[in-house]
């Protein structure tokens, strides 16, 4: 479905001199984690050494004004020194599709993907600098073996009215399902959003974007139907040749109706939520880059509800030499329910992650790497193994260290 949708955008591709390309990547990594399922001290914790193998290849066609690519990816993990190894091991599959086509006054684009992966990776956030505001919020629930399937699609169209003004339309589709649905932990849902935006170049270095959006979220397991409308204003500016900044401010009206899975009562809530964000991205020198971002957003979540997330993201990347690179990053956020009903106490959560790593280039395509991460998580109202409440305020921490080898192939045409 996803490749066909992207290909539909690219029907005129044959009219151009399109060149094919191929980009393979692979890695093998050994990871030790002292608390794989991120459980508090008073519950069973699983520490184990695992091996991860990851392989992907991007195949595409590119012309001066268009591009289409498909990236299949496989990731397998194996654990042999833990009594829980069968619950930890997994075979994950991914498929990403991206396409765009440009004319003198318009641009059509499509991004989408499919994934089938263990909740050990899908339900716990890493430090994703490329996409820190992923459309799908994680639940942080790792105490049971489960698999999550996700389909995403995001077509868009941009019309260039003049050198200073652009108008755009977009649509976002998210469908998430789990092998086993667990109320207040991991439930199936779909989310649709449409948006219209107007971008105006105020000065040579400053852009102002106004966005109107509407969305609908549905989670059948808790009979949740949530409708949202909102507006967002974003001011972005290139402050210097090496530093870019952005500010955004908006509001989102949320109307929800659902059946409380604990009491069985039908409930309805209406709230207006403030949205904001501020970010800086820059380069100190040609060998050092950094990112600092603060944001509040409202996104769908596998708990079966729409969740408000306040987030801080920091990252620094530095090249010590032509062969040695290092990076360090931190991500912290708080999930809160958009209403005050008792069920949503299970959602409220504090999360923090610190990561650091080094990479040594052996050749242009091969490298060795090592990483360390520290993760801390605390739920306002955790759940016991039978789904009941346990005393609040229990925090869970995990330390992980890994070493591996990676292959990043050259772009082949």
Question: DSSP states of 194-247 as a string?
Answer: EEEEEEEE-SSSEEEEEEEEEEEEEEGGGTEEEEEEEEEEEEEEE-SSSEEEEE
- For residue 410, what are its two tokens? 């050259």
The answer to whether residue 373 is domain-embedded is yes
Domain that residue 166 falls in? 2-408
The answer to whether residue 199 is domain-embedded is yes
What's the pLDDT at 313?
A: 94
pTM here? 0.85
The answer to whether residue 158 is domain-embedded is yes
What's the pLDDT at 119?
A: 80
The answer to whether residue 240 is domain-embedded is yes
What's the pLDDT at 132?
A: 44
What's the pLDDT at 125?
A: 73
What's the pLDDT at 233?
A: 98
Q: Which of 274, 278, 310 is nearest to 292 (CA)?
A: 278
The answer to whether residue 413 is domain-embedded is no
What's the pLDDT at 336?
A: 84
Q: How many domains does the chain have?
A: 1
* Residues with Cβ within 8 Å of residue 311, at least 6 apart in sequence: 132, 293, 294, 295, 296, 297, 331, 332, 333
The answer to whether residue 241 is domain-embedded is yes
- CA–CA gap between residue 40 and residue 33 (Å, rounded): 14
CATH number for the domain spanning 182: value is: 2.40.160
What's the pLDDT at 136?
A: 58
The answer to whether residue 194 is domain-embedded is yes
pLDDT in tens, the chain (413 residues): 555 555 555 555 544 467 899 999 999 999 999 998 888 887 888 888 999 999 999 999 999 999 999 999 999 998 876 566 667 888 999 999 999 999 999 999 999 999 998 887 776 777 765 554 455 567 677 777 788 899 999 999 999 999 999 999 999 999 999 887 776 678 888 999 999 999 999 999 999 999 999 999 998 877 888 899 999 999 999 999 899 999 999 999 999 887 776 677 788 888 899 999 999 999 888 899 999 999 998 887 777 778 888 999 999 999 999 999 999 999 999 988 776 654 555 568 899 999 999 999 999 999 999 999 999 998 876 555 444 444 555 789 999 999 999 999 988 87
- C-alpha Rg value of the chain to the nearest Å: 22
For residues 210 and 182, is the Cβ–Cβ distance under 8 A? no
The answer to whether residue 165 is domain-embedded is yes
What's the pLDDT at 129?
A: 56
């Amino acid at each position: 479905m996803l490749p066909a949708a992207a290909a539909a955008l690219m029907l005129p591709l044959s009219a151009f001199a399109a060149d094919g390309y191929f980009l393979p990547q692979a890695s093998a990594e050994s990871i030790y984690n002292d608390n794989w399922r991120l459980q508090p001290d008073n519950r069973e914790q699983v520490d184990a050494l695992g091996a991860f193998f990851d392989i992907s290849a991007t195949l595409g066609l590119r012309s001066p004004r268009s591009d289409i690519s498909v990236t299949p990816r496989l990731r397998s993990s194996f654990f042999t020194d833990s009594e829980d190894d069968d619950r930890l091991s997994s075979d994950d599959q991914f498929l990403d599709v991206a396409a765009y086509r440009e004319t003198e006054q318009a641009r059509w684009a499509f991004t989408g993907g499919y994934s089938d992966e263990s909740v050990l990776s899908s339900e716990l956030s890493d430090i994703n600098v490329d996409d820190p505001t992923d459309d799908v919020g994680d639940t942080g629930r790792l105490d049971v073996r489960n698999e999550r399937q996700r389909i995403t699609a995001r077509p868009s169209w941009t019309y260039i009215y003049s050198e200073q003004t652009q108008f755009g339309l977009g649509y976002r589709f998210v469908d998430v399902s789990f092998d086993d649905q667990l109320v207040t932990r991991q439930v199936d849902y779909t989310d649709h959003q449409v948006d219209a935006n107007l971008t105006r170049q105020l000065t040579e270095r400053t852009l102002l974007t106004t966005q109107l959006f509407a969305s609908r979220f549905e989670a059948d397991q808790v009979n949740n139907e949530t409708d949202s409308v909102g507006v967002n204003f974003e001011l972005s500016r290139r402050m210097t040749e090496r530093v870019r900044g952005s500010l955004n401010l908006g509001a989102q009206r949320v109307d929800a109706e659902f059946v409380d899975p604990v009491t069985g009562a039908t409930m309805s809530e209406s709230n207006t939520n403030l949205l904001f964000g501020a970010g800086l991205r820059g380069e100190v020198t040609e060998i050092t880059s950094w990112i600092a971002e603060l944001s509040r957003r409202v996104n769908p979540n596998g708990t079966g509800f729409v969740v408000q997330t306040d987030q801080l993201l920091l990252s620094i990347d530095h090249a010590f030499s032509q062969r040695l690179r290092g990076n360090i990053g931190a991500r912290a956020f708080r999930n809160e329910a958009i209403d005050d009903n008792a069920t949503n106490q299970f959602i409220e959560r504090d999360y923090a992650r610190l990561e650091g790593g080094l990479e040594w280039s052996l050749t242009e395509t091969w490298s060795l790497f090592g990483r360390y991460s520290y993760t801390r998580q605390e739920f306002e109202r955790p759940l016991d193994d039978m789904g009941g409440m346990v005393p609040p305020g229990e925090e869970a921490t995990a330390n992980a260290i890994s070493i591996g080898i990676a292959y990043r192939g050259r772009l082949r045409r």
